[in-house]
Chains A and B, each alone.
Chain A
Amino acid sequence: MTPNARVLIVAAWVLAAVVVVAREALIRGPAAPDGVAEALPPLPSLERAPASFETEDTLPSALKGVTVELVEGRTGPGDRPFYVAVRSREGADHLSRQIGRSTFRLGLRTTSRDLSQYPCSSCHAGAAMIRDRPERDAEAVHRNIRPVHPGETRAQCLTCHAADDPGRLALESEETVSLDHSYRLCAQCHFPQVDSWAAGSHGKRLVAWRGRRVVAGCADCHDPHRPATVTRIPYPGPVLPDPLGGELEGGEEGQGEVQGHG
């Protein structure tokens, strides 16, 4: 390295201070002369859409392809109408969502099949099939169903299912609704829960916190034939160092968190 270069490098440090100060002055704006600001070339635009969120009239784009229906007779917070996701078309499952690069299953049910797809009609074709069937047949065929709803026996299918068509639900008013509208059936007994559901403190809003409010239905989370929560092994928890046992391991995030709950 020549002496000349050394002088240059030393001078560079001095200049750096000048540059930084000048740049700060420029950032602050008013202190900079107008002529200087104008001399800066225009920067390329980011060519990116502005932040977009769904308006009241649009559906969150993540729910495109999912059928939503207005919940009749009940309104959400502020007397606003809301919608329940009732059925998914091909490839648009409202109960699984991608977060980051992973897909998460929403809702507690272990099965992902849509209620509307349950093939009751393959056996119960025609009218009054349930009524005509002896009880022991039902026990044999629906071995996997352990109803806890009124009666505790399998003979109580008709408490919820329509006698003429088990693919539909029978309300107390003798109206029948599709399996997708289970909230209307559930509300007959579980009205406090359904009220909370309408108000937003029970249940699950999907995708967006603003815009059109779309929520999951009762049977998205609660399996009507097996309502108890299924236990399972959770995702892994944190690795925390033991504040009392031995040395703290280097590189652990936890050193500062010992006070937390170590």
Chain B
Amino acid sequence: MAERRELTFEDVLRNAGAREAQSRLERLMPDPASLSSPAPEPRDAPGGEPGCGSGSCGCGSSRSNSLFDKPLDRRGAIGAMMGALAVTTQAVGACSPASLESDEEREAKLLERDEYFKGNYRLMTPAEKAETVRRLERLAEIRTGVDASIRTDEALPDVMYGYAFNISKCKGFRNCVEACIQENNLDRESGRQYIRIFEIEDGESIGDLEHADATYGHAVPAEGHYYLGTQCFQCANPPCVYVCPVQATWQEPDGIVVVDYDWCIGCRYCMAACPYWARRFNWSEPEVPAAEVNPRQHYLGNRARKQGVVEKCTYCIQRTREGRLPACAEACPTGARVFGNLLDPDSEIRSVLEHKQVFRLKEDLGTEPRFWYFMD
């Protein structure tokens, strides 16, 4: 119905939700008169704009109209400029005729703008965390129709997670791999997997994982082989954290190494630094069918990732901080996976460490993984 026409400045203002920007600015700068920058001269609001007066377009709502009912004063001009900024920094997709945009589309753009300007997760106040969660949940609803619930649970006090893997028990069924995919909303398109299960011949060294087979597809357990699983070990001395140039990855008080997906710049230093090949890079936008998305999410865990950022196993932070087992440990049909609190002397993981022969991978590197292997 609408033919393309040149984008007018008024369109830009409407698209960008200039009023929100204005009120936000007023809060930030209580005395704009003290600003030295010259304000544009006041001007009257234009009358009926072609293509905008129709009720279907939705942009003529009262909230943006009120801006144009009065002359732009200095404060209004600041807001208007913020709006212009938002559009220029955002996709030029805003250049489509304003009348074609739905309310939801406009809302999503506003949310994305605010997401773009948010800070590092660790610097956020609780209020700001709540705000970004609200934005992300709404964006997920608009973009994918998923009613996600994103939590920001802090680490539990007096908890340090540890993991033990029984190489006598693992039979290589990969139930853990599948559960991980389902739980953590891993990209189906590229076949993303956090967990690797290696099939190793009896008597072969575990120090030679480069030549072990992780892609086997035959019936398991295979005669004369044992199985060893790797994932992120949540090292106590994590090289991946030290090399991050922007502090987008860090260790939480409960030992989980996490990534702020909105702060990661995708340089992949951490992948080069990790001696255990635990990190994964999103070469493309991860795709999960809406019907398969796990809606129980954590900001630092299984929420939607973007293209060009690094992700990794978080011991299912969204589950473990609620007291539940990680998905891999829960789904394991052989009981090869033991998970628990290292600081609790009565925990099963401590029992394993005290009574079984345990080892860790590449212990000589001093990375101090919190992931042990043991045998019956």
Contacts and interface: CB of A to CB of B under 8 A. Distances in A.
B118 to A, nearest CB: 9
Contact of B214 (A199, A207, A216, A240): A240
Contact of A77 (B128, B215, B351): B351
Contacts of A202: 335, 376
B25 interface: yes
A255 B117 CA distance: 31
A213 B331 CA distance: 17
A39 B24 CA distance: 11
Given A8-B81, A99-B182, A202-B376, A237 B331 contact: no
Given A19-B25, A237-B197, A256 B294 contact: no
Interface in A7-25: 7-9, 11-16, 19-20, 22-24
B333 A54 contact: no
B327 interface: yes
A26 B28 contact: yes
A231 interface: yes
B355 A201 contact: yes
A238 B214 contact: yes
A233 B183 CA distance: 22
Contacts, number: 275
B128 A27 contact: yes
Contacts of A8: 9, 40, 77, 80-81, 84
Interface-centre pick from A40, A77, A102, A105 (highest chain B CB count, 10 A): A77
B9 A2 contact: yes
Interface stretch (A28-36, A66-74, A173-181): A28-36
A232 interface: yes
Contacts of A45: 130
B115 interface: no
A77 B131 CA distance: 43
A121 B324 CA distance: 39
B30 interface: yes
Contacts of B197: 234, 237
A209 B269 CA distance: 33
Given A53-B322, A101-B294, A251 B190 contact: yes
A135 interface: no
B29 A22 contact: yes
A36 B151 contact: no
B167 interface: no
B333 A5 contact: no
Given A234-B216, A236-B174, A99 B84 contact: no
A213 B341 CA distance: 13
A77 B271 CA distance: 37
A201 B351 contact: yes
A19 B22 CA distance: 11
B331 A106 contact: yes
B347 interface: yes
Given A1-B9, A29-B125, A253-B191, A203 B323 contact: no
